[in-house]
Each structure stands twice: as structure tokens, then as C-alpha cells.
Amino acid sequence: MATDRESVLLAAVALLSRQPTAPMDEIARAAGISRATLHRHFPGRDALIREIGALALVRMDAALDTAAIEEGDPVEAVRRLAEALIPDAQLAAFLAGENRLFEDTGITDAWDRMDARVAALFLRGQQSGAFRVELPASWLSEAFFDLLAGVGWAVQDGRLAQRDSTRALTELFLGGAARTA
């Protein structure tokens, strides 16, 4: 039986990202634990949802650090960012679809800090001539994260192979964001 918190959270994400109203007993089954064990870890659905949101943001923030997006060529930084974030694309999809998370100021503050880092990458890219200037950097950040969520859903549903997901994300995004002559 999987009883470590992270395994339970990831199993819950896999179910809830496509069945947001799944009852707690289904979530427990998906995690391979009893409902009682699930409730020992998370006293209710809201606690579970908040924990998933917190895990997603911690992992995504770590991916930003790993990608070192403040360094080097902005286009290459986007490629590094995509590669670092793809393993957590399903968490990004969950974040994008779970409105209750935006009622938690701790989660929204963490998201805003992360989003600001990515928007700064796009602003730097605009200033260097790599990215289109008629699209606001903050919108480019939002579009990037929305595409990441789409990759998470597509991989989960079998419409996109995991091995193709980084290339699919970067090529589609950069095809629209890159400045052309």
C-alpha cells in the first residue's frame, strides 16, 4: 500500500484532474489506500486540494531554479524551463483547473512569485529581440503555463506521448512567441 503523502497526492491528481468531483473513497482507491488512511493524511477534500496545490507549486518553483531561467539565451532558457517542468505537467493541469486553489492566499502568492519569474524571462527575451514585443510578457507567461497544462492533459489522456511532450510544448510555444524578421 502506498502511504507516503506524495504518492497519495500524485494518485489524487491523476484522478481529480479528469474527475474533479470524484468522491474521497475513489481517491483512496486510486492511491491504493483505504478511505480511513486517506483521512489520516488529509482530514477532508479541501485539505487534500490545498496539499496538491502546494506540492505543485513547490515542484514547479524547483523546476524554475533547475532551469536557471535568469541565465543565458532566453530561447534556450524557455527550452530548459519546458524540459524541467514537463515531469510535473499533470500537476500544472490540476492547478489550471482547480478554482478552489485561488481562494488560498498562500497558494496565489506563491503562484504570483513564480509567474513573475517567468514573465521576467519573457520580458528579457523581448528586450533582447528574441520574443515578440506586441504580446505582453505577462501574457506570454500565462500562455506558456496554459500550454504546459494542456500537455499534462494530453499525456494523461494518451493523445501525446510523454517522450514527445517537451518538443511539442517548446515548438508550439516558440512558434508563436518568437520574433520573426
As a whole number, mean pLDDT of residues 149-166 equals: 91
Structural contact between residues 122 and 137, judged by C-beta atoms closer than 8 angstroms? yes
Q: Are residues 156 and 122 in the same domain?
A: yes
CA–CA distance, 58 with 53 (Å, rounded to integer): 9
Same domain, 35 and 66: no
Q: What is the CATH number of the domain that holds 22?
A: 1.10.10
48 lies in some domain: no
Residue 135 Cα distances to 44, 118, 140, 168, 177, angstroms: 41, 14, 7, 21, 8
Range of the domain at 27: 1-43
Same domain, 96 and 27: no
Q: Are residues 32 and 74 in the same domain?
A: no
The confidence band for 3, taking pLDDT boundaries of 50, 70 and 90, is low
Domain count, the chain: 2
Asked if pLDDT for residue 4 goes beyond 70, the answer is yes
Q: What is the pTM of this model?
A: 0.87
CATH assignment of the domain containing 159: 1.10.357.10
SS (H, E, C) 79-136: HHHHHHHHHHHHHHHHHHHCHHHHHCHHHHHHHHHHHHHHHHHHHHHHHHCCECCCCC
pLDDT tens for 14-54 read 898 778 889 999 999 999 999 999 999 899 998 999 999 99
Q: Which amino acid is at 51?
A: E
Same domain, 9 and 86: no
Asked whether residue 11 falls in the same domain as residue 89, the answer is no
65 shares its domain with 97: yes
